[in-house]
Structure 1
Amino acid sequence: MSFWKLNKIPLLLTFVSFFLYWLFAYDLVRTEYTKLITLYCTVWLVFLLLLKYAKNNIKFLTAIAFLSRAIFILAIPNLSQDFYRFIWDGRMILEGLNPYLYTPESFIHAGGNFPVAEAETLYAGMGDLNGSHYTNYPAINQLCFLIAALFSNSSILGSAMVFRLLIILADFGTFFFGKKLLIKLNLPEKNIFWYILNPFIIIELTGNLHFEGVMIFFLIWSLYLVHSGKWKWAAIIFALSISVKLIPLLFLPLLFFYFKRPSNITSTTKQSLSNYEITTSQAPRNNIIKLIGFYSIVGITTLLLFAPFFSSEFINNYSQTVVLWFNNFEFNGSIYYLARQIGYWFTGYNEIAVIGKVLPILVFLFVMRLALFRRKIETKTLITHMLFAFTIYLFLSTTVHPWYIATLLILSVFTNYKFPLVWSFVIILSYLAYINLNTADKSENLWIIALEYAIVYVVFTWEMFISSRFPKHKKSQLN
């Protein structure tokens, strides 16, 4: 009774939260837009109240975070259909076939013997667009798909359960190393709950089975190892992150001056002056060796992970598929949509083929600007630069699916910036972008997208350019 009296409000909020997640998992259809928005806003309100009333109870919040994930164990994703392709790829590998060399469509249209169990159901689930292209999921991602095929080769639900368990295990790893890194950086360890307890993360990763969670686990583990000085192991783990999703490639240039930073040697050390001078003179050379070593290990490890799939045809198919994301696909863009409209005004056509080539160049130039013109780099600065780099990447992308924000959110945990947190809330609006799908108009609702980005850009602008002008203003932390 005393426990109940002391924790009555957090416990009531927990029960409400579990019920809302159950509705998300088992009683929601994607086209039920009003219900979707209502549930999402309500579970977010409960999330914020939990952080308010149980902010000092780390164990309690941790239990809620992972019990919430457990609610989804028996659910088939209802907001994304990508997992059908995951199952297809895993079963292809189990049958001894290279998933990078064949499209699902090629087997379906050929008829006759299908290469995997439930082939027609999987193809119908993934959709014609997905099924007509070669897979773009890297090697470690394919390993996850294979694990699901090994444990469940003839059950879609069984495969989904294996995926979900892998993603939950990855979240455990992110929680563990994220807390340790926060402590090492002298930041409140409770900040990790902005990510691990966030309804967006629970629904998009655990619920909808997106493997950004696995990529993030390796990324945070690698950052922890880098900060701890274990750069060789950090490089191997960083390569694993790249081999889940290619996004960490964007961050490699930012490590250039991190490894070239001066050693932590001060005049207060008890070494003789001559020893100090020798050590200091050797530091740049040692740091360059670390830099070259780190990049070499990342490159070699990544190539070894892809080696089982390697062939000239693989290189051609994979590169073509990656290019599609810049030159053909478009969804929930911001600056790109403005550029597209300008293209319509001048040429009367959608100039995605041109714009899709220019925008990545702008992202590259911005990342190199961060990498080469800020020589004093510590771990906090490195993570902040990673946050800025990925923010610009998303702002300039032709395609921004909701789960892409997960990487932005985890990086923000180690900074004072909260615009990724706001974005993780308003990103639900992207699910309304095709609100006209049941009518003759199949285009996105640009007013909804404009609302989403108006909110994000206002908060981003405030934090980047305005709040710093007010000395008394302090960016919020989870206190």
Structure 2
Amino acid sequence: MSALWIALFFIYYKIIQSNSNSLKLLGIVALAARIIFLFAIPNLSQDFYRFIWDGRMLLEGLNPYLSLPETWVTEGTIPVAQGKELYEGMGELNGSHYTNYPPISQFCYLIASVFAGKSILGSAIVLRILIILADIGVFFYGRKLLNSLRLPEHRIFWYLLNPFVIIELTGNLHFEGVMIFFIIWSLYLLQKGLWYWSAMVLALAVSVKLVPLLFLPLVFQKFIVGSHQLSLTQRFLKLFSFYVIVLLTTLLLFAPFLSKEFIANFSQTIGLWFQNFEFNASIYYIIRWIGFQTVGWNIIETAGKILPLVIIGLLLLLTFFRKNSSTVAVITVMMIGISCYYFLSTTVHPWYIAVPLSLCIFTKYKFPIGWSFIIILSYTAYIDPNFKENLWFITAEYLVVFSIFIYEICRNTQRISLKSIYS
């Protein structure tokens, strides 16, 4: 597996290096690589079974946020086609928690159920087609954004041809690809000055996965410092309007599902990611070790409450103490911000890295590409029958990632300093 992974990344590098002037060829290869997976059932993730379950619940007119698959199975009143197979596929852990997938994701799952309501393979094919269409959108708007920023258009293929992206998103059906499409579309609209449409599209990204909410404070300087032609009052009004549009659009998309039960269930499931689950973490694992040495038990519940506050503090520092007035600077700080969020998270599934990877192609930073390669070490947990992580491999992974990250931070900071001295 490791030899094959290395070979795939070598081929990925050589294809782009040798054909950077032939976008058509690179596009055909990227599409062909995705079509290979079209009729495959994912074997590295169980999540798609839950996607199909949620979609079929909606098709039956039931709110997927208000009940547990486990409850339906236990009571013997399964309301969806192939419910037993779907529950066994998603596993007891997934089936015993409320769904946490936002409404645009749920809409995609519903589409799969409409077109393939009685076939798991058919549903997987429809979901995969939606993700491939999103990647085509990334190609379209990513090229436009690169061109607008006067960057080489072939850079988009450092994302689209990355073996990690093809396997984790297209192959394993993770909807980060759809979220990334909306993020890049939103950034393109922001670059073109269409901030109101940018806000609406960013809300669509939030409604696929909640992660883009972290980006909201990071656009502050783009509106306040970057709009010289407006008065300060007008700039703040524009920024405030941007935030209002994002939040109101998101709220409208959630509106069909809103209830007290939904809020309780959804917030409970989100909280689990911070206070219960652990996987492929970096800084948190050091904190956990310190906890065991000092108090003698796992302090995840306490750390899970404190770390989000640390993340908010870091985002605010990046917002106000870094020059982020240009679009490239905004994208750079988004990439650094989301990476810091994952560095401090208790759970970092491999497919999460697709977000900083997609953003780095518009910046001078390349460490997410290295991360996408080395993150294969996290899958060593599957070697153990009891799904046990090998912390030596996790340590090796993050030593590589942090080394490249720190090197690039120092290098790019030095370049900025030299420019300011000689300008």
Q: TM-score, normalised by structure 2?
A: 0.96
Correspondences of 1:203-282 after superposition (within 5 Å) = 203-263=167-227, 280=229, 282=230
Which shows bigger deviation, 373-382 or 164-173?
373-382
Q: CA deviation at 1:467?
A: 6.8
Say whether residues 1:43 and 2:8 are aligned partners.
yes
Correspondences of 1:4-23 after superposition (within 5 Å) = none
The one-letter code matched in structure 2 to 1:144 is C
Write the distance in 1 (CA, Å) between the matches of 2:197 and 2:414.
41
Q: CA deviation at 1:199?
A: 0.7
Aligned to 2:24, which of 51, 59, 77? 59
Q: Deviations over 1:278-309 (max 9, x none)?
A: xx5x5322222211111111111111100111
TM superposition outliers: structure 1 runs of 4+ over 3 Å:
466-471
Q: What is the match of residue 443 of structure 1? A: 388
Q: CA deviation at 1:465?
A: 2.1
Q: Deviations over 1:369-411 (max 9, x none)?
A: 1112346511011011101101110100000000000001011
The one-letter code matched in structure 2 to 1:132 is S
Is the CA contact (8 Å cut-off) linking 2:226 and 2:325 kept in structure 1?
no
Q: CA deviation at 1:117?
A: 0.6
Say whether residues 1:72 and 2:37 are aligned partners.
yes
Correspondences of 1:88-107 after superposition (within 5 Å) = 88-107=53-72
Say whether residues 1:412 and 2:395 are aligned partners.
no
Is the CA contact (8 Å cut-off) linking 1:332 and 1:433 kept in structure 2?
no
Structure 1 residues without counterparts, runs of 5 or longer: 1-35, 265-279, 474-479
Q: What is the match of residue 106 of structure 2? A: 142
Q: Residue 433 of structure 1 aligns to a residue in which SS?
A: helix
The one-letter code matched in structure 1 to 2:98 is Y
Q: What is the match of residue 188 of structure 1? A: 152
Write the distance in 1 (CA, Å) between the matches of 2:181 and 2:10.
27
Say whether residues 1:366 and 2:314 are aligned partners.
yes
Aligned to 1:457, which of 402, 409, 412? 402
Residue identity (%): 56
Q: CA deviation at 1:436?
A: 1.9
Write the distance in 2 (CA, Å) between the matches of 1:444 and 1:132.
23
Write the distance in 2 (CA, Å) between the matches of 1:450 and 1:250.
27
Correspondences of 1:283-322 after superposition (within 5 Å) = 283-322=231-270
Write the distance in 2 (CA, Å) between the matches of 1:189 and 1:181.
9
The one-letter code matched in structure 2 to 1:294 is F
The one-letter code matched in structure 1 to 2:22 is N
Q: What is the match of residue 21 of structure 1? A: none
Q: What is the match of residue 271 of structure 1? A: none
Q: CA deviation at 1:37?
A: 2.2
Structure 2 residues without counterparts, runs of 5 or longer: 419-423
Is the CA contact (8 Å cut-off) linking 2:219 and 2:324 kept in structure 1?
no
Q: What is the match of residue 277 of structure 1? A: none
Is the CA contact (8 Å cut-off) linking 1:435 and 1:445 kept in structure 2?
no
Write the distance in 1 (CA, Å) between the matches of 2:382 and 2:289.
19
Say whether residues 1:339 and 2:304 are aligned partners.
no
Q: CA deviation at 1:262?
A: 4.4
The one-letter code matched in structure 2 to 1:147 is I
Say whether residues 1:426 and 2:374 are aligned partners.
yes
Whichever of the two has the greater Rg, that structure is 1
Q: What RMSD over aligned residues (CA atoms) do the two structures have, in Å? A: 1.5
Q: CA deviation at 1:468?
A: 5.4
Say whether residues 1:379 and 2:324 are aligned partners.
no
Is the CA contact (8 Å cut-off) linking 1:433 and 1:446 kept in structure 2?
no
Q: Deviations over 1:104-132 (max 9, x none)?
A: 00111112x31101111101100111000
Q: Residue 321 of structure 1 aligns to a residue in which SS?
A: helix
Which shows bigger deviation, 36-45 or 240-249?
36-45
Write the distance in 2 (CA, Å) between the matches of 1:38 and 1:133.
37
Q: What is the match of residue 421 of structure 2? A: none
Q: What is the match of residue 121 of structure 2? A: 157
Distance 1:78 1:394, change over 3 A: same
Is the CA contact (8 Å cut-off) linking 1:327 and 1:356 kept in structure 2?
yes
Is the CA contact (8 Å cut-off) linking 1:258 and 1:377 kept in structure 2?
yes
Q: What is the match of residue 351 of structure 1? A: 299
Aligned length: 417
Distance 1:353 1:97, change over 3 A: same
Is the CA contact (8 Å cut-off) linking 2:103 and 2:254 kept in structure 1?
yes
Q: CA deviation at 1:186?
A: 1.1
Q: TM-score, normalised by structure 1?
A: 0.85
